[in-house]
């Protein structure tokens, strides 16, 4: 197997499918087969705090045996990709980001759902445990410096995703083999992640040729030390940027620390320490074996209900996403790569082929009445009528992205706009971000140039709301006529930057959800049929959740630590609500009361049912 190239994206075609990874590892290390196979069981036992037995000859029979890093590291990237890329990517996060629409079950109704238990367990048991084991067993051995640093980088990436989902969680005592794992507050976790990433990329030594994982045991970057350093720098930039506007009253000093790190890492990018174009994007590919195929591909090819009327758990493109990329609004150059046309339906007057589904098709606000001559466009629609996820994400062996160059380009634009950093104007960086995003999906140069001059997309230029031969005014409006994708003049330039980053994050569910919570500049319709389960305060309507609720097994097995987290560590629990609510704001998030408020919609209507999804004193 050849190594991934640092500069040639085509080398990524040399995919390491999950089955081949495990088979090759077992073949190469056949003398260690028994230990390799029993490890997941041992790790699970460790995580679920097996009770220590009687000691015999100073050995703990339940303690995970010391295993060479190359026999266990590869399990972690594999499971991480599986966790982030499976149905939670659309069932939860695609819905929360207003990019995909799934209407059945608790998750899409902004409520607690059992699938979150699998997220938590797979992260800790399968993804984190091997890394923590490597760090504990080999952290003090200089012969393993690179391998330990790589494990630390990947561990930091995983925790950066988890803390964005739940907030406080076990970090310093994670996988400690004891009956109690304390929850750390978010600031402690973030500061630990930022420190570990810098320590790790500082420790990496490309000249230590004997201190590497064998390529077949490292499915992400095949032990390319330079690439691992770049990845660590990139994730450190992302995590720091997330924290740049944490309120001083919530976590004193954290925003200033984060802004300093952003400046440091953007300077590092200028010096070539981060990726500089799309050839350096970080991703893994799904495999051809059935068990390793893209979960999205398997969903769209095997779901027996996909041809039924509005199948509840089947993902299609969200209406709100179409408002920003569709041919009747901004006609995004990447449209056909990201989105597959729908059928248009079988009506006498067919629907647009780029027709998106709302949260709950046909459900409108209390008291809403259709304007004269207008009716519900969702009545009687079938699954094929809706626009669907394009093959670039839905193919059997599609790439799953962890970090891409357009993200850096958007950070440059945002940092320049905020006055934190910049060698160029925010406008220049903004156009570079568009170039990077569109080039990622192979858009043509003339289409990109046209897009950058399009009213609304063009810097400081309002959207053209006058219908033309190519653009319909209705293309900017949702089906209720209450939310739009219009962009104003200079006052909306920051929003322009965030729109580009949000589009680039399509299919990166957690990252996109984090962006929306961090910025709160994009307006979306609330969910008019929000869950009334215990994870959400009873509400007739609700905006996207701020976090996930902790899973049931953790609540029952680590009760005291969980109770402390809910009562004392979650930022917004000023009312000391005893429930574990998904409405508690995390430290990087902003409040959002939205355009749909307690007195009515933009003053045009008064609704009788207020949003009760509040957990803080106001």
pLDDT at 141: 97
User: What mean pLDDT do residues 513-518 have?
Assistant: 97
User: What mean pLDDT do residues 565-577 have?
Assistant: 78
CA distances from 524 to 330, 465, 521 (A): 17, 19, 10
CA dihedral 89→94→97→100, nearest 10 degrees, is 160
Specify if 464 maps to a domain. Answer: yes
Give me the percent of the chain exceeding a pLDDT of 70: 78
Q: In whole angstroms, what is the distance from residue 79 CA to residue 75 CA? A: 6
pLDDT at 39: 40
Q: In whole angstroms, what is the distance from residue 546 CA to residue 616 CA? A: 13
pLDDT at 188: 98
Q: Which of 584, 552, 591 is closest to 568 using CA atoms?
A: 584
Specify if 489 maps to a domain. Answer: yes
Q: In whole angstroms, what is the distance from residue 197 CA to residue 153 CA? A: 6
Element (H, E) at 340: strand 339-340
pLDDT at 55: 37
What is the secondary structure of 502-514 as a DSSP string?
HHHTTT-HHHHHH
Where is average pLDDT lowest: 267-276, 342-351, 565-574? 342-351
Over residues 78-95, the pLDDT tens digits come to 999 999 999 889 989 999
pLDDT surpasses 50 at 601:
no
Mean pLDDT of the chain: 82
pLDDT surpasses 50 at 398:
yes
Q: In whole angstroms, what is the distance from residue 127 CA to residue 79 CA? A: 6
Categorize the per-residue pLDDT at 22 as very low, low, confident or very high, splitting at 50, 70 and 90. Answer: very low
pLDDT surpasses 60 at 605:
no
pLDDT surpasses 90 at 254:
yes
pLDDT surpasses 70 at 37:
no
Specify if 424 maps to a domain. Answer: yes
Categorize the per-residue pLDDT at 21 as very low, low, confident or very high, splitting at 50, 70 and 90. Answer: very low
Cβ of 3: how many Cβ atoms within 10 Å?
Answer: 13
Report how many domains make up the chain: 1
User: What mean pLDDT do residues 305-326 have?
Assistant: 79
Half-sphere exposure of 613 (CA within 13 A, CB side): 32
- The residue that leads in pLDDT, 544 or 578, is 544
CATH code for the domain of 502: 1.25.40.390
Specify if 287 maps to a domain. Answer: no
Over residues 420-446, the pLDDT tens digits come to 999 999 999 999 999 999 999 999 999
pLDDT surpasses 80 at 315:
yes
pLDDT at 303: 67
Categorize the per-residue pLDDT at 35 as very low, low, confident or very high, splitting at 50, 70 and 90. Answer: very low
pLDDT at 207: 96
Domain extent, residue 327, equals 308-519
DSSP 384: G
* The two structure tokens encoding residue 386: 């809706």
Specify if 236 maps to a domain. Answer: no
Q: Which of 320, 323, 319 is closest to 475 using CA atoms?
A: 323
pLDDT at 294: 95
Where is average pLDDT lowest: 223-232, 264-273, 353-362, 608-617? 608-617
Task: Provide the angle, in degrees to the nearest 10, between the axes of the packed helices 493-504 and 405-418.
Answer: 160
Categorize the per-residue pLDDT at 245 as very low, low, confident or very high, splitting at 50, 70 and 90. Answer: very high
- Model pTM greater than 0.85? yes
Specify if 360 maps to a domain. Answer: yes
Categorize the per-residue pLDDT at 36 as very low, low, confident or very high, splitting at 50, 70 and 90. Answer: very low
Q: Which range among 27-36, 357-366, 386-395 has the greatest average pLDDT?
A: 386-395
Specify if 151 maps to a domain. Answer: no
Over residues 141-193, the pLDDT tens digits come to 999 999 999 999 999 999 999 999 999 999 999 988 777 899 999 999 999 99
Q: In whole angstroms, what is the distance from residue 564 CA to residue 578 CA? A: 11
pLDDT at 490: 97
Specify if 27 maps to a domain. Answer: no
pLDDT at 574: 63
pLDDT at 470: 56
């Amino acid at each position: 197997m050849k190594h991934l190239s640092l500069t040639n994206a085509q080398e990524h075609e040399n995919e390491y499918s999950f089955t081949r990874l495990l088979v090759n590892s077992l073949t190469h290390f056949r003398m260690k087969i028994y230990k390799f196979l029993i490890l997941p069981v041992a790790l699970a036992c460790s995580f679920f705090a097996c009770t220590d037995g009687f000691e015999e000859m100073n050995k703990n029979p339940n303690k995970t045996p010391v295993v060479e890093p190359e026999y266990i590291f590869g399990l972690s990237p594999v499971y991480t990709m599986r966790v982030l890329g499976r149905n939670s990517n659309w069932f939860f996060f695609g819905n929360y980001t207003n990019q995909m629409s799934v209407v059945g079950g608790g998750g899409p109704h902004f409520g607690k759902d059992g699938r979150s238990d699998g997220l938590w367990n797979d992260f800790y048991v399968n993804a984190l445990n091997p890394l923590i084991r490597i760090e504990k067993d080999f952290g003090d051995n200089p012969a393993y410096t690179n391998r330990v640093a790589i494990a630390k980088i990947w561990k930091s990436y995983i925790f950066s995703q988890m803390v964005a989902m739940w907030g406080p969680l076990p970090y310093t005592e994670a996988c400690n083999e004891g009956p109690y794992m304390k929850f750390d507050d978010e600031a402690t976790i973030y500061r630990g992640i930022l420190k570990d990433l810098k320590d790790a990329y500082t420790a990496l030594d490309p000249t230590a040729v004997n201190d590497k994982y064998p390529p077949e045991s490292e499915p992400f970057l095949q032990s390319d030390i330079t690439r691992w350093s770049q990845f660590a720098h990139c994730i450190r930039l992302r995590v720091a940027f997330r924290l740049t506007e944490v309120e001083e009253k919530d976590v004193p000093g954290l925003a200033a620390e984060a802004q300093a790190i952003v400046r440091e890492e953007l300077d590092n990018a200028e010096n070539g320490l981060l990726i500089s174009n799309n050839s350096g994007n970080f991703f893994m590919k799904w495999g051809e074996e059935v068990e390793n195929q893209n979960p999205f591909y398997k969903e769209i090819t095997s779901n027996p209900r996909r041809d039924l009327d509005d199948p509840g758990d089947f993902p299609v493109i969200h209406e709100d996403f179409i408002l920003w990329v569709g041919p009747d609004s901004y006609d995004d150059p990447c449209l056909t790569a990201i989105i597959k046309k729908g059928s248009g339906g079988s009506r006498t007057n067919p629907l647009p082929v780029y027709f998106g589904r709302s949260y709950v098709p046909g459900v409108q606000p209390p008291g809403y009445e259709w304007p004269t001559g207008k009716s519900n466009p969702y009545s009687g629609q079938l699954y094929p009528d809706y626009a669907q996820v394009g093959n670039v994400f839905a193919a059997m062996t599609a790439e799953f992205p962890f970090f891409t160059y357009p993200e850096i380009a958007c950070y440059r634009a945002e940092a320049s706009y905020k006055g934190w950093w910049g060698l160029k104007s925010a406008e220049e960086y903004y156009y570079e971000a568009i170039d990077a995003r569109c080039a990622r999906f192979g858009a043509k140069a003339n289409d990109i140039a046209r897009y950058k001059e399009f009213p609304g997309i063009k810097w400081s230029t309002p959207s053209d709301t006058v219908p033309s031969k190519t653009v319909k005014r209705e293309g900017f409006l949702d089906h209720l006529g209450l939310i739009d994708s219009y962009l104003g003049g200079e006052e909306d330039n920051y929003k322009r930057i965030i729109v580009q980053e949000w589009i680039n994050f399509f299919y990166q569910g957690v990252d996109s959800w984090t962006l929306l919570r961090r910025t709160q500049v994009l307006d979306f319709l609330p969910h008019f049929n929000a869950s009334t389960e215990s994870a959400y305060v009873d509400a007739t309507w609700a905006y996207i959740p701020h976090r996930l609720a902790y899973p049931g097994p953790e609540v029952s097995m680590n009760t005291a630590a969980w109770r402390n987290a809910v009562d004392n560590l979650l930022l917004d629990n000023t009312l000391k609500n005893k429930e574990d609510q998904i409405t508690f704001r995390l430290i990087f998030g902003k409040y959002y009361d939205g355009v749909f408020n307690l007195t009515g919609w933009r003053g045009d209507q008064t609704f009788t049912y207020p949003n009760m999804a509040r957990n803080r004193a106001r």
